[in-house]
């Protein structure tokens, strides 16, 4: 049964220029890049701490954020372990010139978060849950 456990989820983000997008994540957010640009579908796997994102080269269409295309949602959500981690990442990203769309704040649903825009206009949330039990609808 131990093999039936999920250990990771990697968001797959389509990019108009996968190399440029991967380099932006490296320079602005401190990700490490594993390049697979010679694959039949060029991509880059990018890593920071325990987070993995997959950037795939688009072939058709326009890359848009979920908010632009559908009117709702972020394109990914990154979770540090604490509110101080949210503040630390906010300060780090802002100092690197990342466009912050929403400063850190507590939401009505109990998440302390901020939002930034990536190289391709996607909105990425960064936050942590105040209380997992109440967020999941369970009594503490």
For the stretch 68-116, pLDDT in tens is 999 999 999 999 999 999 999 999 999 999 999 999 999 988 899 999 9
Task: Give me the CATH topology for the region 1-60.
Answer: 2,3-Dihydroxybiphenyl 1,2-Dioxygenase; domain 1 (3.10.180)
Q: Are 31 and 25 in contact (CB under 8 A)?
A: yes
Q: Which residues contact 88 (CB under 8 A, 6 or more apart)?
A: 80
User: What's the pTM value of the predicted model, to 2 decimals?
Assistant: 0.90
Q: How many angstroms separate the CA atoms of 105 and 29, rounded?
A: 20
Q: How far apart are CA 132 and CA 34, in angstroms?
A: 33
Q: Where in the chain is the domain with CATH 3.10.180.10?
A: 1-60, 64-140
What percentage of the chain carries pLDDT values higher than 70? 92
pLDDT tens-place string over residues 14-66:
999 999 999 999 999 999 999 999 999 999 999 999 999 999 999 999 999 99
Q: What's the CATH class of domain 64-140?
A: alpha beta
Residues ≥6 apart with Cβ < 8 Å to 86: 80, 104, 112, 113, 114, 126, 127, 128
């Amino acid at each position: 049964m131990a093999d039936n456990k999920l250990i990771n989820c990697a968001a797959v983000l389509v990019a108009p220029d996968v190399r440029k997008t991967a380099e932006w994540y490296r320079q602005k957010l401190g990700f490490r890049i594993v390049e697979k640009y010679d694959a039949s579908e060029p991509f880059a796997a990018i890593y920071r701490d325990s987070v993995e994102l997959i950037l795939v080269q688009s072939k058709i269409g326009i890359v848009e954020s979920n908010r632009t295309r559908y009117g709702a949602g972020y394109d990914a959500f990154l979770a540090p372990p604490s509110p101080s981690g949210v503040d630390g990442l906010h300060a780090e990203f802002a100092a690197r010139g990342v466009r912050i769309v929403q400063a850190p704040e507590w939401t009505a649903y109990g998440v302390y978060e901020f939002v930034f825009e990536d190289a391709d206009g996607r909105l990425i949330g960064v936050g942590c849950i105040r209380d997992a039990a109440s967020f999941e609808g369970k009594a503490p």
